[in-house]
Amino acid sequence: MSSEERRSWIYVVVAVGVAAVYFVTVLPKVPGADVARIAYVRPMLIAIGAGIGLGIVAGIAAAIASPKEAGRADERDRQIHRLGEYVGFYVMSIAAIVPLALAMAEAAHFWIANALYLAFVLAALASSITKIVLYRRGL
């Protein structure tokens, strides 16, 4: 497994894990509550920071575990990275329509922020999963 593929696996695990913890923490408060009073900002900021931090730390740990492969990328790695990023961009572009529509409908900030966070998570997952599939099935 190349270091780039390993990094994609790390991002999938981190994105799913951090988002799951965030949504399990915040969404149970929704039924029967006024969403304007739900404290979601701090948990969301912690989730975003944890996602970034865990991704960096796990990437460094993976590079330390296999130092010969760290930072080595060939043309195939660059093409896979580019295609994965394109897919992530398109997913984000489409998913961003939901928070935009919520803002236009003057929905509560809670729903707009959570829809936007979910769009970012889906884009990261789509990008990383695309890269993994391309590595596994070939480019």
pLDDT in tens, 23-69: 999 999 999 888 888 999 999 999 999 999 998 998 888 788 776 66
| Alpha-carbon distance values, 7 to 15, 43, 78, 88, 101 (Å) | 12, 25, 13, 15, 34
Closest listed residue to residue 125, CA positions, set 84, 79, 97: 84
- Which pTM was predicted? 0.87
| Domain count for the chain | 1
- Tokens representing 27? 């969404």
The C-alpha atoms of residue 53 and residue 62 are separated, in whole angstroms, by 14
Where does residue 96 rank: exposed (0-12), middle (13-18), buried (19+ CB within 10 A)? middle
Which residue range(s) make up the domain with 111? 3-137
pLDDT tens-place string over residues 60-71: 887 887 766 666
